[in-house]
Structure 1
């Protein structure tokens, strides 16, 4: 049963209030964070400037000349108590397909350049993560990683980056990997990485410390808004989205990249209504129902 401890609220300077639901990563807390922050946006509170949801917390920026911080705190506490009822934890979401060339030549070459940063890996990242999680073949690993959706819990690190947590799977089957002890100086754009239990797609070339297992064929960040899905935003991800990775061959990868460059690629998207109550009661069965026809 969904049970939440009391949310801790702290004032941060003159313009921010920080709310922490849990010190540990709990997907149930993320459900509440998304529901609460969606409700705050919907209410359009005067003086509320920005809302930043994260894995198990959120940050509010406000204008103290418009709203009293103590009145705002009381308001936040009221909404927080309301969302302790699991029947309230529902929100509109999207399932988005991300085609991935797993164990690709690009990230393999990249990680081989940085073998000295983690000699315990004894090879490139894909094989390291595969072995750490007990898989004997690349096909078995790829199938396992791509068989469940990844719940977008938070955005950050750099523009367009999004953390995805696997849901609808027992904890002991979640693919996990340690981060590099010292980060790489270079990570290719659209590289797919695993760090802890999270999977990310690097939006642009950057430093990085997640273990690289593949290459996304589609962008997750488009400052030029050249594809239709980016019409209203530069970022593909929204907190609460579900990303479903689909394995593609090298040839399929290049075909999709050509469509992207010609601006003809259309993302596969399925609007859904997510219910934390149903997820708690039905688990993987509920997630499989959400994925039907996708």
Structure 2
């Protein structure tokens, strides 16, 4: 496929067009992709059957009997040319996720798989704190929970969100995945791999470092929880997440409320501006979080 921009278009069989906006992840590339896919969805273009945004790319499934791929690419190029990232905003929501860091369940699991880890002599969070230059685990938890995260994509496993930290590039937490993936990860584990945080929506295999667990379900095909009553998957690309550290007592309290269907996630609508973030990457996210107290 040819293109008049740095964006790369690649066919994936007869029904998919893969669009790569950048070879590396950045808030700029993610934001641009989200704006493009949102606009494509809003246009309800005949022949487009599915739109899947990702970290610095997206994929569009289309019916070739209805929509010629050259027409689809032309539309995407036209949308991208009209989007001025630094003048655009995104209407989204902030979600507060309580996290019990250094919980006993992920600790038991990570100890079972130490031979697959880069540093078998320490825990996952101790290793992450050390290689990122933090004095201790408490300082690392403060950095991990102290700034919000963008949900850049949801997938691989149903309901699993990938989140990118809203900080300057040189302040990004970086942690490699396990040398060899585990065959077990507790449900609702807060994990980390590369520059991405995630929450394991179900129990299963995984290779991300394990820092803690949340008592709040984020995926439920039975729709038992209020926040999952209409759709089994809670997160969607563009959501902004803030982690709130909790202790064992509060974890148990929230878990009991979830089981009674008496727990409400703290959420608030917010408008995100990439220009304002880039102008003040430390102060702007903090001001956005104030929306949780106002809602």
User: TM-score, normalised on structure 1?
Assistant: 0.94
Structure 1 segments, 4+ long, off by >4 Å, are none
2:14: which partner in 1? 14
Call closer, same or farther: CA 1:58–1:269 in 2, change over 3 Å: same
Aligned 1:24-39 pairs, distance under 5 A: 24-39=24-39
2: CA distance between counterparts of 1:108 and 1:136? 21
Call closer, same or farther: CA 1:170–1:80 in 2, change over 3 Å: closer
2: CA distance between counterparts of 1:124 and 1:285? 32
Alignment deviations for residues 193-220 of structure 1 (CA, whole Å, 9 cap, x no partner): 1111111110010101011010111111
Which structure 1 segments of 5+ residues have no match? Answer: none
1: CA distance between counterparts of 2:107 and 2:188? 14
2: CA distance between counterparts of 1:71 and 1:117? 48
1:196: which partner in 2? 194
1:123: which partner in 2? 122
2:53: which partner in 1? 53
Match of 2:234, SS?
Answer: coil
2: CA distance between counterparts of 1:8 and 1:287? 31
Which range is displaced more, 112-121 or 46-55? 112-121
1:214: which partner in 2? 212
Q: 2:238 matched to 1:245?
A: no
1:146: which partner in 2? 145
Q: Cα RMSD between the aligned structures?
A: 1.6
Match of 2:238, SS?
Answer: coil
1:68: which partner in 2? 68
1: CA distance between counterparts of 2:162 and 2:260? 28
Contact 1:122 1:128 in 2 (8 A): no
1: CA distance between counterparts of 2:55 and 2:147? 19
Q: How far 1:257 moved relative to its partner?
A: 0.5
Contact 2:188 2:202 in 1 (8 A): yes
Q: How far 1:283 moved relative to its partner?
A: 2.0
User: TM-score, normalised on structure 2?
Assistant: 0.93
Aligned 1:219-234 pairs, distance under 5 A: 219-234=217-232
1:269: which partner in 2? 267
1: CA distance between counterparts of 2:118 and 2:13? 44
Which range is displaced more, 123-132 or 143-152? 123-132
Contact 1:121 1:128 in 2 (8 A): no
Contact 1:125 1:213 in 2 (8 A): yes
Call closer, same or farther: CA 1:58–1:140 in 2, change over 3 Å: same
1:96: which partner in 2? 95
2: CA distance between counterparts of 1:21 and 1:129? 29
2: CA distance between counterparts of 1:20 and 1:36? 12
Call closer, same or farther: CA 1:89–1:293 in 2, change over 3 Å: closer
2: CA distance between counterparts of 1:261 and 1:245? 21
Which range is displaced more, 104-113 or 132-141? 132-141
Q: How far 1:114 moved relative to its partner?
A: 0.6
Alignment deviations for residues 207-261 of structure 1 (CA, whole Å, 9 cap, x no partner): 0101101011111111111222223321111111111000001010011011111
Q: How far 1:41 moved relative to its partner?
A: 0.9
Aligned 1:129-168 pairs, distance under 5 A: 129-167=128-166
Contact 1:112 1:123 in 2 (8 A): no
1: CA distance between counterparts of 2:123 and 2:269? 37
2: CA distance between counterparts of 1:153 and 1:88? 20
Which range is displaced more, 272-281 or 248-257? 272-281
